[in-house]
Amino acid sequence: MAQGAALRDRFSRHWRHVAPHSGFPPTGLSWHEVDMTDLTLTSGTPASLFAFGTMQFGDAADEAESRAMYDACRAAGITHFDTAVGYTDGASERILGMLAAEDRDAIYVATKIGYDGGGTTESLQAQFDQSRRQNGLDYVDLLYLHRFQGATPLETQFALLRDWQKAGLIRHIGVSNYAAWQVMKAQAICKDLGTRIDAIQPMYNLVKRQAEVEILPMAADQGIAVLPYSPLGGGLLTGKYSRPDASGRVVENAMYAKRYSPDWMRETAAGLARLAEEVGTSPATLAVAWVAAHPTGPIPIISARNVAQLKPSLDAIEFPMTPELRDRISALSITPPPATDRLEEA
């Protein structure tokens, strides 16, 4: 089954069960009929419905550990791998490029440029050139602009991506950390340029649910694939930070410490750990499976620093999430109000 069809199928299955009490789909949408980009491999086979993020390659994971995680992902059926030009001073792209080159046609490689340096042609071109040198690949399957850069006209930025696409250097176009209105603006510009936004990469997890309000419904309406990052909240949702001696990004990295600082998030993580014990699985498995089971069918980008850490996230692929269990997990955190703010209609 083509990937768009698989996602629609997953969506329609969830829709039947979840829609009555989830607000999905919003009135007036018929998501079954949306023409969705298939994130296919060059062979035409759909890429996997879970992706792996290589932000730890070359840092928390040395080359041997990176390969071990890559192999574990492949064994679990994952073919979609995510990186960025700036990750780990280029080591992430270098290691992923080397691994992907061993079986290029079977791997979907996504990378990102444009987090730093603004969105000028010179800056984006220099970063794309650097990315190509680092990964050593003839083409990447998906190139994202890493964040919205409003100072340079979007026409300029996306014309460049369109040109690279026409030249066969990239296959699909994506954006990350864009607000919904920014995606729609970019999509209109892409249409005029004869291309489209195929994928978006927002943050989304049990304690970061803003994407539910505008981004996920927009993507479903527009047939844009969604690849949420940080399904474990950077590790918070593993439950390990309930131990005072816990180590990891959320206590060691100031940005993540701030992002996940509210007390209620710790309480949500503790509640998820209790629920996981009750159902006999790991909180990480529940957290990732919860993201994947959103009615719009996002493709979570899982990650870890070693194979042992990775296991519970991989287990989410086969976890039999039910609508009832997903509702219980959702109830552990704050559901964001609808875009209209009319709570009585939510």
Ligand X SMILES: NC(=O)c1ccc[n+]([C@@H]2O[C@H](COP(=O)([O-])OP(=O)(O)OC[C@H]3O[C@@H](n4cnc5c(N)ncnc54)[C@H](OP(=O)(O)O)[C@@H]3O)[C@@H](O)[C@H]2O)c1
From 123, 177, 281, 335, residue interacting with ligand X (rule: CB under 6 A)? 177
Helix (H) or strand (E) holding 78: none
What token pair was written down for 236? 């918070």
**Smallest distance from ligand X to CB 263, Å:** 19
What token pair was written down for 142? 């998906």
* End-to-end Cα separation, the chain, in angstroms: 34
**Smallest distance from ligand X to CB 315, Å:** 10
Using CB under 6 A as the binding rule, whether residue 82 contacts ligand X is answered as yes
**Contact 204/231 with Cβ under 8 angstroms?**
yes
Using CB under 6 A as the binding rule, whether residue 304 contacts ligand X is answered as yes
**Dist CA 179 CA 100 (whole Å):** 31
What is the Cβ-side half-sphere exposure of residue 51, based on CA atoms within 13 angstroms?
30
Among residues 231 and 298, whose Cβ is nearest to ligand X? 231
**Smallest distance from ligand X to CB 303, Å:** 4
Residues 6+ apart with CB under 8 A from 294: 14, 204, 212, 216
Q: To which residue do tokens 């390969």 refer? A: 67
Among residues 298 and 323, whose Cβ is nearest to ligand X? 298
Residues between 197 and 216 that touch ligand X (CB under 6 A): 201
Using CB under 6 A as the binding rule, whether residue 176 contacts ligand X is answered as yes
**Contact 294/168 with Cβ under 8 angstroms?**
no
Question: Tell me, what DSSP letter sits at residue 280?
Answer: T
Q: Which of 49-57, 126-134, 165-173, 319-327 is the region at the interface with ligand X (rule: CB under 6 A)?
A: 49-57
Using CB under 6 A as the binding rule, whether residue 295 contacts ligand X is answered as no
Cα torsion 229, 72, 237, 283 to 10°: value is 140
Residues 6+ apart with CB under 8 A from 114: 123, 124, 127, 145, 146, 147, 149, 157
Among residues 223 and 233, whose Cβ is nearest to ligand X? 233
Number of residues counted as binding ligand X (CB under 6 A)? 28
Using CB under 6 A as the binding rule, whether residue 70 contacts ligand X is answered as no
**Smallest distance from ligand X to CB 246, Å:** 8
Residues between 221 and 280 that touch ligand X (CB under 6 A): 229-235, 238, 240, 248-249
The SS3 assignment for 119 reads coil
Using CB under 6 A as the binding rule, whether residue 335 contacts ligand X is answered as no
From 72, 85, 124, 302, residue interacting with ligand X (rule: CB under 6 A)? 302
Among residues 268 and 303, whose Cβ is nearest to ligand X? 303
From 301, 314, 316, 332, residue interacting with ligand X (rule: CB under 6 A)? 301
Residue 282 — left, alpha, or beta (φ > 0 → left; ψ -120 to 50 → alpha)? Answer: beta
Using CB under 6 A as the binding rule, whether residue 285 contacts ligand X is answered as no
What token pair was written down for 62? 């040395």
**Smallest distance from ligand X to CB 301, Å:** 4
**Smallest distance from ligand X to CB 243, Å:** 11
From 37, 48, 131, 309, residue interacting with ligand X (rule: CB under 6 A)? 309
From 4, 25, 46, 53, residue interacting with ligand X (rule: CB under 6 A)? 53
One-letter amino acid of 111: T
**Dist CA 247 CA 133 (whole Å):** 34
Going 173 to 213 to 184 to 127, the CA torsion angle's sign is negative
Among residues 18 and 219, whose Cβ is nearest to ligand X? 219
* Positions in the binding site for ligand X (CB under 6 A): 53-56, 82, 176-177, 201, 229-235, 238, 240, 248-249, 284, 301-305, 309, 312-313
